[in-house]
Structure 1
Amino acid sequence: MGAAWLGRRLDRTIHAISYDSPEDPLGRRVVVRAIERITGQPRLQRIYEAYLAARRDGDNLWQMAAEYLNLTVRYDPAALAAIPRTGPLIVVANHPYGAPDGIALGYITSQVRSDFKVMAHAVLERAEALRPYLIPINFDPTAEALRANIEAKRAALAHLAEGGAIIIYPGGGVSTAPHVFGRATDLPWKRFVGRLITTTHATVVPIFFEGQASWVFHLVSRFSETLRQAMLMREVAARIGAEITAHIGAPIPFSDLTSWTDRQALLDYLRSTVYGLDPAPQRRAA
């Protein structure tokens, strides 16, 4: 009785800006909600609501999000100008912070393409402003999630076949350090990204973001997936007013990728290309 009541209460008070998912076990939801509340979620929710109240038709969501979070996104304008403005395009990047570099990547892409979609966690659909851009991926271990992900992959292929652009983080999650103060790198890249490229003959743009999440995030990641999820909101709040530096690589036409007949080898090449954009030589190996 008590657990059912608590679950219903959590559902009634669920926030657009939160990683609390109704599909998660009750205990996990309570922990995520409690930690988010004391690490910045209420402030971020207020910022989001202020944006909703002020937005107007035609506003660039990604630019507005960066402005409301006071993010300074740094990149080379010449490298940006080289990105194709038409035709199937896949933007791949590392994912050091979570939402902050997601906003930065959306902002960068929006400067040259208006026809892009973002493959991202389905929990982000709760933010109404993001829905037109999302192709949601569900990470729940259920048959329903599997079916939803099959549809998401079909949607991505169809969008590229129509000449659109796709933003995707091939690691599928925030970069993780092997030990608390180590260098964070992406989780293994998903093979589906290779299929997207080889099926649609898309041009690929690699982008590398400098930096990584806090040592606290990497500490809790070693012990608990629940705590890791709960701390994501803290990482967003910690980036308010920060600089995010992106290094945009040269577009890679599909004709330059045809020699990679093995999809895993193709992914390994693209991953090394992304990390090869790191300006610090001692950090380039990934």
Structure 2
Amino acid sequence: MKKELIEINDLENISPVFKGKTGNRLAKFVIRLFAMDRVNKLYERSCNCSGPAFAASLLNDLDVNYRIGNAERLSQLPEGAFITISNHPYGGLDGIMLIDLMASIRPDYKVMVNHILSLIKAMDVNFISVKPKGNTEIGITSKNINGIRTTLSHLQEGHPVGFFPSGAVSDLSLRDGCVRDREWQESIIKLIQSAKVPIVPIRFFDQNSPFFFSLGLINWRVRLIRMPYEVFNKSKQNPRIGIGNIISVEEQKQFTDYKAFRTFLRDSVYKMPKPEVFIPRKELNLENAASNSESDEEMNMPQNVFEVN
């Protein structure tokens, strides 16, 4: 397991300006300037762990004690395969929180992630990686067909999968005057629709700093450079996560048009009422929820099958 999350060769792959002796010196300067070295040290302290253990270690190190609304719904998770859908306001830490939460209940839970999150090799056991071409990519290229096949196979074998249907961190919309995901990807919506398994909406009620999103008005690459700083400002935020009502397969059948289905799924996240009570992560009885889920599976074998608005 490599000890650094962001290495010089990662920057070399982004741009030829970082190649050679002069380029490598520039890369080292950029790594220090944009707090990537702090991220590397954070990663090094937890990289001997993997999967949900890594996620928990990282969150503890950062002192991020997220809170869960409608936590009782975690004990009602379907047995066998199901899908979670989430907004993507953090662009990285939200994936870590999802693994910490869901894989503590279902260790077989995996999340489809983009190439940025896939750099976290300690999370390989819970990540399915795809690689969009860029911030405006609205589909998954043929190069990612293995990721799609892995996802479908994982679901058909009775395991849960999580999706960030936008495929990229949320944007600041001047027209709407709020932070929102870009349009959810057609390919992901059609994949979810074809899976025919229960869907659990999960909403992150908080977000990165206003400065982070304002940088996106300049260029998404400029905003991306700021992302390492955003990892270290969540301890005071105590991020809030809401668990939505489970969407049954029967309820999904009323949507034959993927666009209507996409609107329905997006609304299930963004129009989720804010829970009145949020339980801190460290007070959640995830072991009990996991036991309930395991008991259900023994009785029922899985079938194959700036404000945020």
Q: TM-score normalized by structure 2? A: 0.76
Which residue does 2:71 correspond to in 1?
77
Indicate whether 1:115 and 2:112 are aligned: no
What is the CA-CA distance between 1:195 and the residue it aligns to? 2.1
Report the residue type matching 1:92 in the other structure: I
Return closer, same or farther for 1:201/1:239 CA change in 2, 3 Å cut-off: same
- Report if aligned partners of 2:201, 2:269 keep a CA contact under 8 Å in 1: yes
Whether the aligned pair in 2 keeps the contact of 1:87 and 1:202 (CA below 8 Å) is no
C-alpha displacement at 1:60, in angstroms? Answer: 2.5
1:195 aligns with 2:190: yes
Describe the SS at the equivalent of 1:60: helix
For residues 216 and 238 of structure 1, what CA distance do their matches in structure 2 show? 12
For the Cα contact (< 8 Å) 2:83–2:199, is it kept in 1? yes
- Could you tell me how far 1:78 is from its partner in structure 2? 0.5
- SS state of the match for residue 213, structure 1? coil
Task: Provide the residue aligned with 1:25 in structure 2.
Answer: 15
- Consecutive unaligned residues of structure 2, counting only runs of 5 or more, are 276-306
Root-mean-square deviation (CA, aligned residues, Å) is 3.1
1:177 to 165, 172, 184: 172
Q: Contact 1:41 / 1:233 at 8 angstroms: preserved in 2?
A: yes
Deviations 1:219-272 (A, max 9, x none): 211112221221111211222454111010011111111010011210110101
Task: Report if the CA contact (8 A) 1:180-1:216 is conserved.
Answer: no
Identity of aligned residues (%): 25
1:100 paired with 2:93, answer: yes
* Structural mapping, 1:242-253, within 5 Å: 242-253=237-248
- Could you tell which deviates more after superposition, 29-38 or 189-198? 29-38
Instruction: State yes or no: 1:261 paired with 2:256.
Output: yes
- Give the direction of change, closer, same or farther, for the CA distance of 1:58–1:183 in structure 2 (3 Å limit): closer
Q: Name the structure 1 match of 2:146.
A: 151
* Shift, 1:26, TM fit: 2.8
Match among 85, 104, 121 for residue 128 of structure 1: 121
Deviation, 1:79, is 2.0
CA distance in 2 between counterparts of 1:151 and 1:42 reads 32
Amino acid at match of 1:250: N
Distance 1:205 1:78, change over 3 A: same
| Count of paired positions | 266
CA contact (8 A) 2:165 2:189 kept: no
Give the partner amino acid of 1:95. H
Gaps spanning 5+ residues in structure 1: where? 1-12
Report SS of the residue matched to 2:185: coil
